[in-house]
């Protein structure tokens, strides 16, 4: 019973869809977090739920860890096989199985990506709203409870997964939830698996809620002299009940970075990037109301557009904030972290991030989905400079402690993975023992993504 014997049993099952090739393993050991390359012992490429179940049974028999792998875009190393074993690469389970346009839901395999799904949906007048930026797989997005720029209006994966098919740690296959919009029949297993980061089972099918494409979409940008005025504008906007589709904060440094890499001429000040969805008149009314709030808080350069190409350029720029960082500090690496706080504490949290970055002499960009109280800090560092990297770690640590002090959470959307386990006890207290009991009940051998989520 070992990883080695598991691999030979898996090879019999999967033949050339099991790879121990170094290039393939290294590729799966890459990560967008700050972890060293961590290759698994092998990579399996299942093509069906039944096959996933067979793989899981073999792994259980041989005590071999299994880590599901989507597109590898996680930011906390979720997909890394840190205790060895196999990566289950779900990219060949990439079928859209059923589009129920009348019910506004869709059934997909876990390897379907967000952009692939929306391409498939284009003709239906429907779209899937959750948008974390990266073209992540939907299985991975569910497993990490992803969200992104549109969560303020449409919710996170938590609100948008109706039902799941899951392979349990012993190879049994279950279905959670139904296509009905609500239910009160027993424990909400769908919500238990969403955000469980592959530690309780492998998601093999998802039923997702869809939205109608809005009749009208418009976007706007505006800027402020001080970041605090931008944040206050966000708070007032949310409290006024304007149904913002996106409301993103971008700090002055990031605006500067955008100008460098995208050739824009944004004023190098804190900005809000926003989007409105609704009817023609609704969108105009929302924009007008928002414009009034911006003016009240000293905002300027309010630019409003309904042109699709302008909007696309805006969000492409926003999603490529990584390149802004690179443009600001060429040749350096970049680390990202996110926290989420009640919106009344958002100013305090962002003020802390800015001051702490200055104190530690780090280039910190602040940007994020501030309508939810969620923001990101990306920090440039030289991987060769251990002292500087220590300050990056100190920054992240102090920011996470600040989130907890302000009644918030150490991650709004990036998740725990291997990176944030050290905060689980402090954030959850005794509730962590309940999570541990659930993990023990569903994965007694601790083979499902071991070393993640539960310390």
Neighbours of 214 (CB within 10 A): 18
Q: How far is the CB of 403 from its own copies (least distance, A)?
A: 8
CB of 264 to its own copies, least distance (A): 30
What is the closest distance, in whole angstroms, from the C-beta atom of residue 172 to its own copies in the complex?
Answer: 6
The token duo for 240 is 């006024």
Judged by beta carbon, residue 207 or residue 221, the one nearer its own copies is 207
Q: How far is the CB of 136 from its own copies (least distance, A)?
A: 13
Phi, psi angles (nearest 5°) of residue 218: -135, 155
From CA 139, how far away is CA 205, in angstroms rounded? 8
Rounded Cα gap, residues 164 and 178, in angstroms = 8
Give 41 or 197: the residue with its C-beta nearer to its own copies: 197
Terminal CA-to-CA distance of the chain, rounded, Å? 25
Degrees to nearest 5, angle at CA 187 with 181 and 192: 85
Residue among 101 and 329 whose Cβ is closer to its own copies: 101
212 vs 298, beta carbon nearer its own copies: 212
Taking the complex as a whole, the smallest distance from the CB of residue 16 to its own copies amounts, in Å, to 32
Helix, strand, coil % over all residues of the chain, rounded to 5? 40, 20, 35
- Retrieve residue 237's tokens: 């906007």
- For Cα atoms 73, 75, 77, give the angle at the middle one, nearest 5 degrees: 90
Question: Of 2, 4, 65, which Cα lies nearest the Cα of 38?
Answer: 65
Residue closer to its own copies by CB (options 77, 412) is 412
**Rounded-to-integer distance, Cα 297 and Cα 279, Å:** 27
Cβ–Cβ under 8 Å, residues 233 and 280: no
User: Which pair of tokens denotes residue 291?
Assistant: 């414009």
Cα–Cα distance between 87 and 18 in angstroms, integer?
10
Q: What angle do CA 84, 85, 89 make, to 5 degrees?
A: 115
Smallest gap from residue 286 Cβ to its own copies (A)? 9
Residue (356 or 443) nearer to its own copies, CB:
443
Q: Of 368, 353, 373, 364, whose CA–CA distance to 271 is shortest?
A: 368
Query: How near is the Cβ of 412 to its own copies at its closest, in Å?
Result: 5
Which residue number, 150 or 221, has a Cβ lying nearer to its own copies? 150
| Helices 252-262 and 321-328, axial angle in degrees (round to 10) | 90
Nearer to its own copies, 43 or 161 (CB): 161
Among 257, 272, 274, 264, which Cα is nearest to 227's?
272
Q: Which one, 324 or 353, has the nearer CB to its own copies?
A: 353
* CB 41 to its own copies: min, Å: 27
- Report d(CA 289, CA 237) in Å as an integer: 9
CB of 298 to its own copies, least distance (A): 20
The CB-of-449 to its own copies minimum distance in angstroms stands at 13
Shorter beta-carbon distance to its own copies: residue 179 or 316 = 179
Where do the DSSP E strands lie in 109-209?
Answer: 126-127, 161-168, 173-176, 201-209
């Amino acid at each position: 019973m070992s990883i080695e014997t598991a691999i030979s049993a898996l090879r019999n099952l999967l033949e050339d869809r099991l790879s121990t090739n170094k290039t393939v393993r290294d590729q799966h050991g890459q990560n967008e977090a700050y972890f060293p390359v961590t290759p698994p012992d092998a990579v399996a490429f299942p093509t069906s739920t039944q096959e996933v179940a067979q793989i899981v049974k073999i792994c259980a028999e041989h005590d071999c860890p299994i880590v599901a792998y989507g597109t590898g875009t996680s930011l906390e190393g979720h997909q890394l096989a840190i205790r060895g074993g196999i990566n289950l690469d779900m990219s060949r389970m990439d079928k859209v199985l059923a589009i129920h346009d009348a019910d506004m839901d869709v059934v997909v395999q876990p390897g379907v990506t967000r952009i692939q799904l929306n391409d498939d949906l284009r003709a239906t007048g429907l779209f899937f709203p959750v948008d974390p930026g990266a073209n992540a797989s939907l299985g991975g997005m569910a497993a990490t409870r992803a969200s992104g720029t549109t969560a303020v209006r449409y919710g996170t994966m938590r609100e948008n997964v109706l039902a799941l098919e899951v392979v349990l740690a012993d190879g049994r296959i279950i279905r959670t939830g139904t296509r009905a919009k609500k239910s009160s029949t027993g424990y909400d297993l769908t919500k238990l698996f969403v955000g469980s980061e592959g530690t309780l089972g492998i998601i093999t099918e998802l039923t997702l809620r869809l939205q109608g494409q809005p009749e009208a979409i418009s976007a706007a940008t505006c800027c402020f002299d001080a970041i605090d005025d931008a944040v206050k504008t966000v708070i007032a906007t949310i409290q006024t009940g304007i149904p913002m589709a996106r409301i993103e904060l971008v700090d002055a440094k990031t605006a500067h970075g955008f100008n460098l890499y995208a050739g824009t001429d944004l004023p190098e000040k804190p900005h809000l990037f926003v989007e409105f969805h609704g009817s023609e008149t609704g969108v105009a009314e929302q924009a007008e109301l928002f414009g009034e709030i911006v003016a009240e808080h000293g905002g300027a350069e309010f630019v409003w557009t309904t042109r699709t190409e302008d909007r696309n350029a805006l969000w492409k720029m926003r999603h490529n904030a990584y390149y802004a960082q690179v443009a600001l500090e060429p040749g350096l690496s970049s680390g990202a972290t996110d926290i989420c706080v009640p919106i009344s504490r958002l100013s305090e949290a962002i003020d802390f991030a800015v001051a702490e970055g200055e104190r530690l002499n780090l280039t910190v960009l602040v940007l994020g989905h501030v309508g939810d109280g969620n923001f990101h800090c990306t920090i440039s560092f030289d991987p060769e400079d251990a002292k500087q990297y220590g300050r990056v770690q100190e920054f992240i640590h102090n920011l996470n402690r600040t989130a907890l002090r302000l009644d918030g959470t150490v991650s709004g959307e990036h998740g725990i993975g291997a990176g944030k386990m050290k905060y689980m006890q402090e954030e959850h207290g005794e509730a962590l023992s309940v999570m541990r009991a659930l993990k023990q009940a569903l994965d007694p051998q601790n083979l499902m993504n071991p070393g993640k989520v539960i310390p």
